[in-house]
């Protein structure tokens, strides 16, 4: 049993605790929460104040199972690890304490594999997905499609410990559902193998990992396909061509087909399809031969349209990372068919705070050579607060300014030097960012080599306001802006009070400063006070375009006051602050 706090009562403020639960290498952990009472989430559903975060592995760098707060038991109160260790860390802020949590754990044998009846399509993943697979595992999946059909395997991800003869860790696909079936392929690599179609309607997928070494594992999609070559399948490459099957004798598609083509790209991306050929039998309502497109992975998802005849369908872009195409022909009147090109589209426009923003493939490794723009639009009169829940972007010490892979945030819809709020890489999550406009642009760039897990972030909308009490270091103070002009507001009067822990001083650092110039700063200005009261504690009043000096307080409170009049305005200011332990400076 693990309980925090160990005695009755509420947990401490500003607590930072970590626990590692470990069993032997051949077992996993079965977790049952019996009590959970932490500070509730924010209005946007985020755990920002007090929370417990759980990782499926040895450290906080392992795959995140979740961050939890409030009164609901994590994962419904019960879950299992995929590794033999779980890392838990708890954090509380300086307000509102509750009773904490209690969990029980036991060691159990891992379970993987099973029997799958293949009627459409699905995914087989290595144990531990989306994190690394554990050592000492043997998993078998037996797949059975209807007689007369075949099974197509498409490799969404493949990262297995490399060995010349695949003797250590490997994935093996065999014909049939017995141990005597012919081996069709054996994999231990980090590349995308080409799709594999079984000769019959049954197959076995076997995964083995030895006692040492591991990697991110695999995700293999499977689909039932017709005996006709080119009828259906799953497509996971970043771009490709899909064409209807054609008869080898008269160059038209066969009769009596039902082909399903599933395009499944990286999580966090979208799919764009463009037709370059389309000739199907024409009929009213497309009731004979047709191609129907679904915005998702099943025919229960929204239909984007049913098409026939000779008119080329328009370009389509999915709302998620999958598109399903169903091609149907009846018993007569075959035609030359269709051909289309698909490609990945990442980024997009976001207006719903309930929707998380993720890098392509998250939480799998992101792909090379990506450029994705995510544009967040808030309603007029609102600004945007953005928080990273997970962050793992390649960092090379030879490139200290994140020149390889990086995330950039811009205050507005345009990526310019003037609107850049920050460029970030490494495994340390960037600070909370609050825009000054109702549009925020997040740009993700990856180069041709190296990768990480990527990022996941959430956003919320705030009323346009200025001022407040600030007790965390990871906040940037900015002048309130008018989105249409990019200048600060007229007739503003804002007051920020920064409060550091006892025994700490506050250091202010200005990153930009563009205010109206005036003698003795009587029109637009910023004042800094070395106290929570503005009486007799003025450090300085600043205006114009000369950046004020860095300022260090004498106590643990600083007040910043921003005042503008009704005339001229400028680009405004931004500043960051950090807390300094006074004892360490003596």
Report domain extents, the chain.
2-108, 114-225, 233-346, 350-463, 468-585
The verdict on whether omega for the bond into residue 446 sits within 30 degrees of 0, i.e. cis, is no
Output the tens digit of pLDDT for each of the chain's 586 residues.
Answer: 999 998 889 999 988 899 999 998 888 999 999 999 999 998 878 898 899 999 988 888 788 888 999 999 998 999 999 888 999 999 998 888 999 999 999 999 888 888 999 988 888 999 888 778 888 888 999 999 887 788 999 988 888 988 888 889 999 999 888 888 889 999 988 777 888 988 778 999 999 998 887 888 899 999 988 777 788 888 888 789 999 998 877 889 998 888 889 898 877 788 999 999 999 999 999 999 999 999 998 888 999 999 999 999 999 999 888 999 999 999 988 999 999 999 888 888 899 888 889 888 787 788 788 889 999 998 866 788 898 989 999 888 878 889 889 999 998 888 888 889 899 998 888 888 888 778 899 999 998 776 788 999 999 887 666 777 677 787 889 888 876 778 888 888 888 888 888 888 999 999 999 999 998 999 999 999 998 666 678 999 999 999 999 999 988 889 899 999 888 889 999 999 999 988 776 5
Beta bridge partners of 358: 456
| pLDDT score for 534 | 67
- Single out the residue of 165, 158, 166 nearest to residue 209, CA to CA: 166
Burial of 64 (0-12, 13-18, 19+ CB in 10 A): buried
CATH superfamily of 468-585: Spermadhesin, CUB domain (2.60.120.290)
Q: Which CATH class for the 2-108 domain?
A: mainly beta
Whole-angstrom distance, CA of residue 426 vs CA of residue 428: 6
Whole-angstrom distance, CA of residue 225 vs CA of residue 233: 6
The dihedral sign for the CA sequence 520, 525, 531, 534: positive
What's CA 451's distance to the chain center, in Å? 14
C-alpha distance from residue 455 to each of 360, 451, 551 (Å): 9, 12, 34
Burial of 491 (0-12, 13-18, 19+ CB in 10 A): exposed
C-alpha distance from residue 448 to each of 298, 366, 367, 368, 371 (Å): 34, 11, 9, 5, 11
Structure tokens, 377 = 């639009």
CATH superfamily of 114-225: Spermadhesin, CUB domain (2.60.120.290)
Whole-angstrom distance, CA of residue 168 vs CA of residue 206: 13
- Single out the residue of 94, 216, 121 nearest to residue 162, CA to CA: 216
Whole-angstrom distance, CA of residue 223 vs CA of residue 436: 48
| Contact yes or no for 239/343 (Cβ under 8 A) | yes
350-463 matches 233-346 in CATH topology: yes
CATH topology of domain 350-463: Jelly Rolls (2.60.120)
Architecture of the domain defined by 233-346 = Sandwich (2.60)
| Contact yes or no for 38/50 (Cβ under 8 A) | yes
| pLDDT score for 181 | 83
Report the phi/psi class of residue 418: left, alpha or beta, with left for phi > 0 and alpha for psi in -120 to 50.
alpha
Instruction: State if pTM tops 0.75.
Output: no
- Single out the residue of 396, 410, 389, 399 nearest to residue 452, CA to CA: 396
φ, ψ for residue 521 (rounded to 5)? Answer: 55, 60
First to last CA, the chain: 44
C-alpha distance from residue 392 to each of 434, 448, 454 (Å): 21, 17, 5
DSSP for residue 285: G
At residue 260, the 3 state secondary structure works out as strand
φ, ψ for residue 585 (rounded to 5)? Answer: -95, -5
DSSP one-letter string for 75-100 = GGGEEE-SSSEEEEEEE--SS----E
Whole-angstrom distance, CA of residue 61 vs CA of residue 75: 20
């Amino acid at each position: 049993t693990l309980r925090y706090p160990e005695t009755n009562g509420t947990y401490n403020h500003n607590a930072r605790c970590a626990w590692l639960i470990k069993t032997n290498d051949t077992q996993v952990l079965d977790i049952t929460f019996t009590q959970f009472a932490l500070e509730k989430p924010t209005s946007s559903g985020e755990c920002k104040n007090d929370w417990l975060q759980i990782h499926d592995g040895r450290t906080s760098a392992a795959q995140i199972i979740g961050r939890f707060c409030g009164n609901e038991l994590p994962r419904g109160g019960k879950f299992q690890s995929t590794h033999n260790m779980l890392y838990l860390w708890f954090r509380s802020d300086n307000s509102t304490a509750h009773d904490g949590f209690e969990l029980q754990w036991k060691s159990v044998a891992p379970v993987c594999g099973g029997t799958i009846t293949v009627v459409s399509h699905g995914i087989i993943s290595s144990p531990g997905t989306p994190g690394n697979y554990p050592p000492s595992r043997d998993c078998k999946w037996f797949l059975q499609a209807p007689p007369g059909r075949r099974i197509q395997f498409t490799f969404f991800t493949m990262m297995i410990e490399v060995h010349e003869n695949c003797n250590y860790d490997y994935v093996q696909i065999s014909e049939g559902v017995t141990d005597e079936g012919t081996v069709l392929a054996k994999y231990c690599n980090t590349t995308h193998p080409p799709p594999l179609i079984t000769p019959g309607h049954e197959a076995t997928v076997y995964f083995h990992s030895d006692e040492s070494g591991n990697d991110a594992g695999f995700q293999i999609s499977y689909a039932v396909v017709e005996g006709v070559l080119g009828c259906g399948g799953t497509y996971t490459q970043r771009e490709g061509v899909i064409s209807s099957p054609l008869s080898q004798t008269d160059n038209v598609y066969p009769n009596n087909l039902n082909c399903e083509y599933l395009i499944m790209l990286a999580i966090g991306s979208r799919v764009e399809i463009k037709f370059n050929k389309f000739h199907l039998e024409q009929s009213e309502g497309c009731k004979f031969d047709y191609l129907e497109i679904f915005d998702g992975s099943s025919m229960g998802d929204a239909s984007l349209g049913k098409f026939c005849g000779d008119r080329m369908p328009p370009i389509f872009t999915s709302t998620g990372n999958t598109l399903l195409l169903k091609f149907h022909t009846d018993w007569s009147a075959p035609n030359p068919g269709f051909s289309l090109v698909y490609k990945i589209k990442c980024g997009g426009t976001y207006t719903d705070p309930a929707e998380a923003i993720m890098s392509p493939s998250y939480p799998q490794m992101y792909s090379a050579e990506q450029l994705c723009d995510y544009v967040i639009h808030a309603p007029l009169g609102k600004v945007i607060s953005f928080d990273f829940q997970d962050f793992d972007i390649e960092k090379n010490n030879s490139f200290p300014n994140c020149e390889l892979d990086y995330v950039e945030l811009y205050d507005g819809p345009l990526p310019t030097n003037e609107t850049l709020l920050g460029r970030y890489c490494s495994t340390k999550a960037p600070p909370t960012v609050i825009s000054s406009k109702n549009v925020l642009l997040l740009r993700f760039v990856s180069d041709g080599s190296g990768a990480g897990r990527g990022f996941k972030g959430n956003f919320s909308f705030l009323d346009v306001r200025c001022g407040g009490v600030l007790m965390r270091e990871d906040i940037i103070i900015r002048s309130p802006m008018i989105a249409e002009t990019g200048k600060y507001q007229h007739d503003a009067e804002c007051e920020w009070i920064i409060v550091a822990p006892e025994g700490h001083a506050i250091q202010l650092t200005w990153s930009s400063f563009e205010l109206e110039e005036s003698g003795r700063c009587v029109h637009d200005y910023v004042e800094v006070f070395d106290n929570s009261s503005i009486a007799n504690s003025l450090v300085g009043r600043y205006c114009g375009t000369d950046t004020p000096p860095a300022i260090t307080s004498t106590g643990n409170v600083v007040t910043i006051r921003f005042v503008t009049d009704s005339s001229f305005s400028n680009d405004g200011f931004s500043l960051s602050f950090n807390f300094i332990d006074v004892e360490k400076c003596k």
